[in-house]
């Protein structure tokens, strides 16, 4: 069996998601997106964001939008249910 055949026939490993997963590091100038379990706290989300995706501002990532009331982008900021993983939600984070 060639290396190419071995690669093609290798079994697919299931993806193991952490409680908070960065899904889009840049959503415009001051936002990013994470996929998190429903009970993830703002502190937990911000800790992951500031560790894995430095924003470059003095205060770092400072808030999680939970109600869709972002002044810059309005209702588009509202959290949405993750379509790929049950029990998870996509949140926008701002700096």
* Section 49-72 average pLDDT: 88
In whole angstroms, how far apart are CA 78 and each of 7, 14, 70? 41, 29, 8
DSSP per position, 38-92: TT--HHHHHHHHHHHS---SSS---EEE-SS-BTTTBGGGS-EE-SSSTTEEEEE
Whether residue 63 is predicted with pLDDT greater than 80 in this model: the reply is yes
Given this model, what pLDDT does residue 74 score? 67
4 has a pLDDT exceeding 70: no
pLDDT value at residue 93? 95
pLDDT digits (tens, 9 = 90+) for 68-87: 666 666 667 889 999 999 99
Which residue in 76, 84, 85, 93 sits closest to 30, CA to CA? 93
- State pLDDT tens for residues 9-30: 556 666 678 999 999 999 888 9
The radius of gyration computed from the CA coordinates of the chain, to the nearest angstrom, equals 17
CB 82 within 8 A of CB 88: yes
């Amino acid at each position: 069996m060639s290396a190419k055949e071995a690669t093609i026939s290798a079994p697919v490993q299931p993806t193991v998601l952490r409680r908070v997963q960065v899904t889009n590091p840049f959503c415009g100038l001051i936002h990013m997106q994470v996929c998190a379990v429903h009970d993830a706290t703002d502190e937990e989300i911000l800790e992951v964001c500031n560790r894995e995706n430095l924003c470059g501002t003095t205060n770092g990532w400072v808030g999680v939008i939970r109600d869709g009331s972002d002044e810059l982008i309005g209702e588009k900021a509202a959290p949405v249910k993750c379509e790929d993983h049950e029990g998870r939600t996509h949140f926008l984070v701002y700096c």
